[in-house]
Chains A and B, each alone.
Chain A
Amino acid sequence: MSDQLTLSAETRDRGGKGASRHLRREGRIPAVIYGDKKDPISIHLAERDLMKALHTGHFMNSVVMIDGIDGSIRTLPKDVQLHPVTDRPLHVDFLRIGEHSTVHVNVPLRFENEEASPGIKRGGVLSVVRHEVELVVDAAEIPDEIAVDLTGFEVGDSIHISAVTLPKGAHWAIEDRDFTIATITAPSALKSAEGEAEGDETPAA
């Protein structure tokens, strides 16, 4: 289960780009909390704390407690807007959730046991189709990441979602098909080596 992150925030009374830019100049990031059939609250957070949380690598699939506004609000980050050049956060959306509400959340995949895959050992490239998968899970049970075991996969094999162990009490958001999460493809070096081998065989035949 992912750690619970805590961020302290203050409410902001002025919206719009002028007020938001003023906040950003002072090292604060504008954000909003919405959902749970309550009115949205405009807030701002310390950029330093937010960057720290973002760099944990599992910010988007962690429950974030927002302190400082009517006590503590349990939320799930839904979106982080980043500056295209500087990659500084510009704005964050938080979804207000209950303690045991069921949420849709994107969880990153971690590919392990690469050395046990004969395809990757031969020089195959793990081509990741989905870096994260959408999971429907209890808010208290959101996993940090989902491990994908690469043992036994050869060059040309596709790894489908059915090969991944589902975390307890969760189910995939896409259930109508067995979608691909990664493939092991031949690198250009391996392809050209095979091509040369075939080329050598042709004149002999």
Chain B
Amino acid sequence: MLQPKRTKFRKAFKGRIHGDAKSGTLLNQGSYGLKAMEPDRITARQIEAARRAITRHIKRQGRLHIRIFPDVPVSSKPAEVRMGSGKGSPEFWAARVKPGRIIFELEGVAGPLAAEAFSRAAEKLPIKTKVVARLGDFSHLISEV
């Protein structure tokens, strides 16, 4: 699973996710992408589950690019512990995702195959998403035979 190699601080504020994505909204390396339509924290486990769903569906052809990175440590308190006594210990890592952010990109595969792989990946994510392609390419809208 993805996580930073080293961090400056062990724990982070919870924060709120406001507004739309300002960068990472256009396809960069690939021909097809999966775009976030809602804001949320996506955990490293969810990214890994979605990545597996994609690579298994495309039968390890093509090339997948992950455009988000879980760099926020999320802490939680143990069960049956009274409130107070400081912040809990970091439990997992998450990426803060804003609407419009490209989460995954695929290259070297046909449009219908990419669309099906992304729809399987979207099932593993906590947010609504859509499949995007380069301007003038509509092949991802054709369903797989």
Contacts and interface: CB of A to CB of B under 8 A. Distances in A.
Contacts of B68: none
Interface in B57-89: 59-63
A83 B130 CA distance: 14
A84 B22 contact: yes
A56 B21 CA distance: 27
Contacts of A83: 100
A82 B35 CA distance: 14
Nearest to B30: A128
Interface string B33-69: 0010100000000000000000100011111000000
Given A84-B100, A185-B63, A125 B107 contact: yes
Chain B interface, DSSP helix/strand/loop, else mixed = loop
A187 B137 CA distance: 24
A58 B35 CA distance: 23
A173 interface: no
B108 A59 contact: no
Contacts of A59: 135-136
Interface residues of B, number: 25
B58 to A, nearest CB: 9
Contact of B37 (A55, A85, A125, A187): A85
A85 B135 CA distance: 15
A129 to B, nearest CB: 9
- Of the candidates A57, A84, A85, A123, the one having the most CB atoms from chain B within 10 angstroms of its own CB is A84
Nearest to A60: B135
Contact of B60 (A82, A126, A187): A187
Contacts of B122: none
Contact of A57 (B35, B37, B62, B135): B135
B62 A125 contact: yes
- Of the candidates A58, A59, A185, A189, the one having the most CB atoms from chain B within 10 angstroms of its own CB is A189
Interface of A: 54-60, 82-85, 87, 123, 125-128, 131, 185, 187-189
Interface of B: 20-22, 25-26, 29, 31, 35, 37, 55, 59-63, 99-100, 107-108, 132, 134-138
Given A128-B107, A189-B61, 6 more contacts: A59-B136, A84-B21, A84-B22, A123-B61, A125-B107, A128-B31
30 contacts: A55-B136, A55-B138, A56-B136, A57-B134, A57-B135, A57-B136, A58-B136, A59-B136, A82-B25, A82-B26, A84-B20, A84-B99, A85-B37, A123-B61, A125-B61, A125-B63, A125-B107, A126-B108, A127-B63, A127-B107, A127-B108, A128-B31, A128-B107, A131-B134, A185-B63, A187-B60, A187-B61, A187-B62, A187-B108, A188-B55
